[in-house]
Structure 1
Amino acid sequence: MRIECNHAPDAAAEADLFYCGYEDCAPDFSLGPNVRDCYLLHYVEKGRGHYKIGDAEYPLEAGELFVIYPGEVVYYWTERDDPWSFCWFAFDGSGAAGLLERAGLGRDRPTLRLRDGRMLSSCVTGMIAAVSERPYGYETEVRGRLYLALAELERAYRDAQPGTAATAKPAETYAREALRYMAFHYSEPVSVREVAAYVGLERTYFAKLFKTVCGRSPKAHLIALRIDKACTLLRTTALPVSEIGRCVGIDDDYYFSRLFKRVTGQSPSAYRRIAAKNLPSTSGGRKE
């Protein structure tokens, strides 16, 4: 049985699906020489076979996957006495190579073994169904399933690293999650302790990790983020200073003004006056 579905990708996306499918291979299945213009990933659900790229040949069996990279001349074939059954999905985008690198994949390391491939298979099955039926919003659905599949590869790679707990993540990942959380919640009275709890780390350890990655403490980043947003509101709105403080997560008027002056060297009111004077003229005339 062979199923293949095509999808018109969004060229501007970081990663988007081109096509996907599933096949129970015939005993004499082989393909190549073959060249693709996008990234094509095959996950072997059953059977055994081989993938060849340049002088490197990779024997592959159930539970393993291989990636074909754009522009590479490749060959792949199944074992006659134990033919492959595999699913596949092709994708590309500005961030496609980086997403694969996070899963430990590259042109010189195009294969990966999964401890449990059920989630990946489920993602591809969902892609096939969405592209076949094309319900309202299917474009968003297939992109979401693509990212879920790539996330599963990243988890599998991390799990396979010697001495790495299954729940461990790189320091950069914790920092990125914290930055995203603060960017979305700076307008609330969120604390560093809450950010640490969100990423799943003890507060002191989280603070050290964040400073190592980002170059400043999470408290300093949160303050800088709030003051930067406050500056924008002072320049672009007529909101009272006290309301601006609350808009950036600081309910105490006195503390907000004191903190603002400490960071910028000016009081909020003085900052607003100076910003107003420096606004470009909108009259189109020349100042005398």
Structure 2
Amino acid sequence: MSFHSTENYIVSAELALAVNAAITLEKPLLLKGEPGTGKTRLAEELAQSLGTDLIQWHIKSTTKAQHGLYEYDAVSRLRDSQLGSDKVHDIANYIKPGKLWQAFSAERRPVLLIDEIDKADIEFPNDLLHELDRMSFYVHETGQQVSAAQRPIVLITSNNEKELPDAFLRRCFFHYIRFPDADTLRQIVAVHFPQIRQQLLSTALEVFFELRELPGLKKKPSTSELLDWLKLLLAEQIPAEVLQQKQQQGGLMPMFGALLKNEQDVQLVEKLAFLAKRQGR
């Protein structure tokens, strides 16, 4: 079992090595990196390339570890008892399996994505230590022990909003996805826009990297935002010459809303352009 770049997804040699190492070690792969670097997409492509199912658990601030195991619907059971339903005699009718349970009971080895784990409470990773380590858990309401027939391939993503506990980190194989260089971005763009003119792409990448390197930028544009921007440039048929002209003059680039996502960064680019013009007089 080996993973590498696919027709729709370009991975670096380092990332491919990390995925394959985690699969071999049967440890969760903890992925960190800037938003928009393809962490979530990796799980989708990995499942597709292995011909298996993808089970996605998207974490929110209110998510508890118990939600991934199962939930007991006591309200429905109370309602059914008031209505005289025969279902109430079997408590299993009110147990809803969570994403971990689904992964443990899958017929073939699935890919389990625990997406943005750092959004949850600080105790959330610790509460999953036993289940991810032993790949089993106990259902107290029914007395059932749920164990994985085969260990799922677990991918965990984090945007570094919170520090993760050391005990949790020890159980993971870690990889930080570095932002792609220009050559890798060219390969990524070629997957999505194979007919793009190289002059437009070269100029767009220059503008894009200049923007990312601006000091004081609150949110650097990501790979996904670059693709959105290029899609708009192509849709509006904006030629490379227009981009070059704006690059030389400074200020906001065409369709800047795809790259700049808050008013502070828009004002920063405008201010720097104004100062550059003043100094040029």
TM-score over 0.5 for the pair: no
More strand by share: 1
Choose between structure 1 and 2: higher helix proportion: 2
Who wins on radius of gyration, i.e. which is larger? 1
Classify the TM-score, shorter chain: under 0.3
TM-score normalised by structure 2 residue count: 0.27
